[in-house]
A and B are shown apart, each in its own frame.
Chain A
Amino acid sequence: MTTTLAVMLSIHVIGGVIAIGIHNVVLMHLLKKTPDYVFISRIAWSAVALFFLSWATSAYYYVTYYGTAVKPRIIAGAAPFAHTFFMETKEHIFLVLPFVALSIALCASYLRTNPDDALRKSTAFLTFVALGIGVATAVSGMLVSGSI
Protein backbone atom coordinates (compact mmCIF):
# COMPACT_ATOMS: atom_id res chain seq x y z
CA MET A 1 0.00 0.00 0.00
CA THR A 2 1.38 3.43 -0.90
CA THR A 3 1.61 6.30 1.58
CA THR A 4 -1.21 8.10 -0.27
CA LEU A 5 -3.51 5.11 0.09
CA ALA A 6 -2.62 4.75 3.78
CA VAL A 7 -3.43 8.43 4.32
CA MET A 8 -6.70 8.10 2.39
CA LEU A 9 -7.73 5.09 4.46
CA SER A 10 -6.82 6.85 7.72
CA ILE A 11 -8.82 9.96 6.77
CA HIS A 12 -11.74 7.72 5.78
CA VAL A 13 -11.77 5.97 9.16
CA ILE A 14 -11.06 9.00 11.37
CA GLY A 15 -13.44 11.29 9.46
CA GLY A 16 -16.21 8.73 9.57
CA VAL A 17 -15.83 7.98 13.27
CA ILE A 18 -15.78 11.68 14.21
CA ALA A 19 -18.86 12.31 12.07
CA ILE A 20 -20.69 9.46 13.80
CA GLY A 21 -19.69 10.93 17.17
CA ILE A 22 -21.02 14.32 16.07
CA HIS A 23 -24.38 12.75 15.25
CA ASN A 24 -24.47 11.39 18.78
CA VAL A 25 -23.95 14.93 20.10
CA VAL A 26 -26.60 16.29 17.71
CA LEU A 27 -29.07 13.67 18.93
CA MET A 28 -28.39 14.44 22.60
CA HIS A 29 -28.94 18.15 21.97
CA LEU A 30 -32.10 17.60 19.90
CA LEU A 31 -33.59 15.63 22.79
CA LYS A 32 -33.47 18.72 25.02
CA LYS A 33 -36.69 20.73 25.37
CA THR A 34 -34.96 23.96 24.28
CA PRO A 35 -32.01 23.00 22.11
CA ASP A 36 -29.35 25.46 20.94
CA TYR A 37 -30.07 25.20 17.22
CA VAL A 38 -27.13 27.43 16.30
CA PHE A 39 -24.71 24.96 17.89
CA ILE A 40 -26.58 21.94 16.52
CA SER A 41 -26.64 23.24 12.95
CA ARG A 42 -22.93 24.08 13.05
CA ILE A 43 -21.86 20.64 14.21
CA ALA A 44 -24.39 18.94 11.92
CA TRP A 45 -22.79 20.69 8.93
CA SER A 46 -19.37 19.56 10.23
CA ALA A 47 -20.68 15.98 10.17
CA VAL A 48 -21.82 16.48 6.56
CA ALA A 49 -18.34 17.70 5.54
CA LEU A 50 -16.67 14.81 7.35
CA PHE A 51 -19.01 12.21 5.83
CA PHE A 52 -18.37 13.53 2.32
CA LEU A 53 -14.61 13.58 3.03
CA SER A 54 -14.82 10.01 4.35
CA TRP A 55 -16.85 9.07 1.26
CA ALA A 56 -14.38 10.65 -1.18
CA THR A 57 -11.29 9.10 0.41
CA SER A 58 -12.92 5.67 0.64
CA ALA A 59 -13.97 5.96 -3.02
CA TYR A 60 -10.35 6.58 -4.05
CA TYR A 61 -9.08 3.71 -1.90
CA TYR A 62 -11.84 1.34 -3.00
CA VAL A 63 -11.65 2.05 -6.73
CA THR A 64 -7.85 2.12 -7.01
CA TYR A 65 -6.72 -0.49 -4.48
CA TYR A 66 -9.30 -2.49 -2.50
CA GLY A 67 -10.88 -4.30 -5.46
CA THR A 68 -7.63 -5.64 -6.87
CA ALA A 69 -5.40 -6.00 -3.82
CA VAL A 70 -7.51 -6.50 -0.70
CA LYS A 71 -10.75 -8.13 -1.80
CA PRO A 72 -9.08 -11.26 -3.29
CA ARG A 73 -7.15 -11.80 -0.04
CA ILE A 74 -10.30 -11.61 2.07
CA ILE A 75 -12.25 -13.92 -0.22
CA ALA A 76 -9.39 -16.44 -0.24
CA GLY A 77 -8.96 -16.18 3.54
CA ALA A 78 -10.71 -17.70 6.54
CA ALA A 79 -13.59 -15.24 6.57
CA PRO A 80 -14.77 -14.51 3.02
CA PHE A 81 -18.12 -13.32 4.40
CA ALA A 82 -16.23 -10.25 5.64
CA HIS A 83 -16.30 -9.07 2.04
CA THR A 84 -19.35 -10.82 0.59
CA PHE A 85 -21.63 -9.58 3.36
CA PHE A 86 -20.02 -6.93 5.58
CA MET A 87 -18.05 -4.99 2.96
CA GLU A 88 -20.74 -5.24 0.26
CA THR A 89 -23.41 -4.09 2.72
CA LYS A 90 -21.19 -1.36 4.20
CA GLU A 91 -20.11 0.10 0.86
CA HIS A 92 -23.74 0.40 -0.27
CA ILE A 93 -25.24 1.58 3.01
CA PHE A 94 -22.53 4.23 3.18
CA LEU A 95 -24.01 5.72 -0.01
CA VAL A 96 -27.07 6.66 2.08
CA LEU A 97 -25.28 8.20 5.06
CA PRO A 98 -23.97 11.50 3.61
CA PHE A 99 -27.46 12.33 2.32
CA VAL A 100 -29.05 11.56 5.66
CA ALA A 101 -26.42 13.79 7.30
CA LEU A 102 -27.28 16.51 4.77
CA SER A 103 -30.99 16.23 5.63
CA ILE A 104 -30.20 16.52 9.33
CA ALA A 105 -28.05 19.62 8.77
CA LEU A 106 -30.68 21.24 6.56
CA CYS A 107 -33.37 20.61 9.20
CA ALA A 108 -31.11 21.98 11.95
CA SER A 109 -30.50 25.13 9.90
CA TYR A 110 -34.24 25.49 9.27
CA LEU A 111 -34.96 25.07 12.99
CA ARG A 112 -32.65 28.00 13.79
CA THR A 113 -35.16 30.41 12.28
CA ASN A 114 -38.31 28.29 12.62
CA PRO A 115 -38.24 26.38 15.90
CA ASP A 116 -40.85 23.63 15.78
CA ASP A 117 -41.28 20.79 18.26
CA ALA A 118 -42.61 18.26 15.74
CA LEU A 119 -39.73 18.92 13.36
CA ARG A 120 -37.27 18.72 16.28
CA LYS A 121 -38.57 15.26 17.17
CA SER A 122 -38.57 13.94 13.62
CA THR A 123 -35.04 15.31 13.08
CA ALA A 124 -34.00 13.59 16.31
CA PHE A 125 -35.47 10.34 14.98
CA LEU A 126 -33.61 10.73 11.68
CA THR A 127 -30.40 11.44 13.63
CA PHE A 128 -30.96 8.31 15.72
CA VAL A 129 -31.31 6.28 12.50
CA ALA A 130 -28.15 7.90 11.09
CA LEU A 131 -26.29 7.11 14.31
CA GLY A 132 -27.36 3.47 14.17
CA ILE A 133 -26.32 3.16 10.53
CA GLY A 134 -23.03 4.89 11.25
CA VAL A 135 -22.16 2.59 14.14
CA ALA A 136 -23.12 -0.51 12.12
CA THR A 137 -20.97 0.73 9.22
CA ALA A 138 -18.00 1.38 11.51
CA VAL A 139 -18.28 -2.06 13.12
CA SER A 140 -18.48 -3.65 9.65
CA GLY A 141 -15.31 -1.77 8.71
CA MET A 142 -13.54 -3.19 11.74
CA LEU A 143 -14.62 -6.70 10.78
CA VAL A 144 -13.37 -6.21 7.21
CA SER A 145 -10.02 -4.86 8.43
CA GLY A 146 -9.67 -7.73 10.86
CA SER A 147 -10.25 -10.34 8.20
CA ILE A 148 -7.24 -9.37 6.05
Chain B
Amino acid sequence: MLAVLIVAAEEVPALKDWLKATFYHHWLGKGALALGVFAVVSVALSKQRSATRLSTVIFFEAIAVCVSVGIIAGFFLLHLLKLV
Protein backbone atom coordinates (compact mmCIF):
# COMPACT_ATOMS: atom_id res chain seq x y z
CA MET B 1 0.00 0.00 0.00
CA LEU B 2 2.78 2.34 1.01
CA ALA B 3 4.78 1.78 -2.19
CA VAL B 4 1.67 2.44 -4.32
CA LEU B 5 0.82 5.55 -2.27
CA ILE B 6 4.38 6.89 -2.54
CA VAL B 7 4.58 6.45 -6.32
CA ALA B 8 1.02 7.74 -6.80
CA ALA B 9 1.70 10.87 -4.73
CA GLU B 10 4.77 11.65 -6.84
CA GLU B 11 2.91 11.11 -10.11
CA VAL B 12 -0.45 12.64 -9.15
CA PRO B 13 0.07 16.17 -7.72
CA ALA B 14 -3.54 16.34 -6.53
CA LEU B 15 -2.94 13.36 -4.20
CA LYS B 16 0.19 14.96 -2.77
CA ASP B 17 -1.72 18.21 -2.26
CA TRP B 18 -4.50 16.33 -0.47
CA LEU B 19 -1.95 14.65 1.83
CA LYS B 20 -0.36 18.06 2.60
CA ALA B 21 -3.73 19.69 3.25
CA THR B 22 -5.01 16.85 5.45
CA PHE B 23 -1.88 15.93 7.39
CA TYR B 24 0.24 19.15 7.25
CA HIS B 25 3.00 17.34 5.32
CA HIS B 26 2.72 14.64 2.63
CA TRP B 27 5.29 12.46 4.43
CA LEU B 28 3.28 12.61 7.67
CA GLY B 29 0.18 11.69 5.68
CA LYS B 30 1.82 8.59 4.24
CA GLY B 31 2.93 7.57 7.72
CA ALA B 32 -0.53 8.11 9.19
CA LEU B 33 -2.23 6.09 6.44
CA ALA B 34 0.35 3.30 6.80
CA LEU B 35 -0.32 3.23 10.57
CA GLY B 36 -4.05 2.98 9.93
CA VAL B 37 -3.74 0.11 7.46
CA PHE B 38 -1.27 -1.71 9.72
CA ALA B 39 -3.65 -1.41 12.68
CA VAL B 40 -6.57 -2.80 10.69
CA VAL B 41 -4.55 -5.72 9.28
CA SER B 42 -3.07 -6.48 12.72
CA VAL B 43 -6.50 -6.64 14.32
CA ALA B 44 -7.67 -8.96 11.54
CA LEU B 45 -4.61 -11.20 11.96
CA SER B 46 -4.92 -11.23 15.75
CA LYS B 47 -7.81 -13.64 15.24
CA GLN B 48 -5.32 -16.06 13.72
CA ARG B 49 -4.74 -18.99 16.01
CA SER B 50 -2.65 -21.21 13.74
CA ALA B 51 1.13 -20.72 14.04
CA THR B 52 1.60 -22.37 10.64
CA ARG B 53 -0.71 -19.91 8.89
CA LEU B 54 0.90 -17.06 10.81
CA SER B 55 4.35 -18.16 9.63
CA THR B 56 3.08 -18.08 6.03
CA VAL B 57 1.67 -14.58 6.57
CA ILE B 58 5.00 -13.38 8.03
CA PHE B 59 6.93 -14.93 5.15
CA PHE B 60 4.75 -13.15 2.59
CA GLU B 61 5.03 -9.94 4.61
CA ALA B 62 8.82 -10.16 4.24
CA ILE B 63 8.44 -10.71 0.48
CA ALA B 64 5.98 -7.80 0.25
CA VAL B 65 8.44 -5.55 2.12
CA CYS B 66 11.26 -6.52 -0.30
CA VAL B 67 9.02 -5.81 -3.30
CA SER B 68 7.86 -2.49 -1.81
CA VAL B 69 11.42 -1.35 -1.10
CA GLY B 70 12.37 -2.35 -4.64
CA ILE B 71 9.46 -0.37 -6.08
CA ILE B 72 10.29 2.71 -3.97
CA ALA B 73 14.02 2.65 -4.73
CA GLY B 74 13.38 1.80 -8.38
CA PHE B 75 10.92 4.67 -8.77
CA PHE B 76 13.30 7.25 -7.32
CA LEU B 77 16.15 5.87 -9.43
CA LEU B 78 14.02 6.29 -12.55
CA HIS B 79 13.13 9.77 -11.26
CA LEU B 80 16.84 10.59 -10.85
CA LEU B 81 17.54 9.37 -14.38
CA LYS B 82 14.59 11.50 -15.57
CA LEU B 83 12.85 8.46 -17.03
CA VAL B 84 9.62 9.18 -15.12
Contact B72 A63 (CB under 8 A): no
A95 at the interface (CB under 8 A from B): yes
Minimum CB–CB distance for A102 against chain B, Å: 7
Minimum CB–CB distance for A120 against chain B, Å: 8
B15 at the interface (CB under 8 A from A): no
Among A55, A63, A92, A125, the residue within 8 A (CB) of B25 is: A63
Determine the chain B residues whose CB is within 8 A of the CB of A55 once the complex forms: 31
A95-120 contacts to B (CB < 8 Å): 95-96, 99-100, 102-103, 106-107, 110, 114, 116, 118-119
Minimum CB–CB distance for B9 against chain A, Å: 10
Contact B34 A116 (CB under 8 A): no
Say whether chain A's binding surface is mostly helix, strand, loop, or mixed.
helix
Number of A-B contacts (CB under 8 A): 94
Interface size in chain A (residues, C-beta < 8 A): 34
B8-42 contacts to A (CB < 8 Å): 24-25, 27-28, 30-31, 34-35, 38, 42
Interface size in chain B (residues, C-beta < 8 A): 31
List 6 other contacts, CB 8 Å, given A84-B76, A85-B80, A114-B51.
A89-B76, A99-B34, A100-B61, A106-B42, A116-B54, A119-B54
- The residues of A with any CB-CB pair to B shorter than 8 Å are 55, 59, 62-63, 81, 84-85, 88-89, 91-93, 95-96, 99-100, 102-103, 106-107, 110, 114, 116, 118-119, 121-123, 125-126, 128-130, 133
Q: Sample 15 A-B pairs with CB under 8 A, ordered by A number.
A: A59-B27, A59-B31, A85-B80, A89-B73, A92-B27, A92-B76, A93-B69, A93-B73, A96-B34, A99-B35, A100-B65, A110-B54, A118-B52, A125-B62, A130-B65
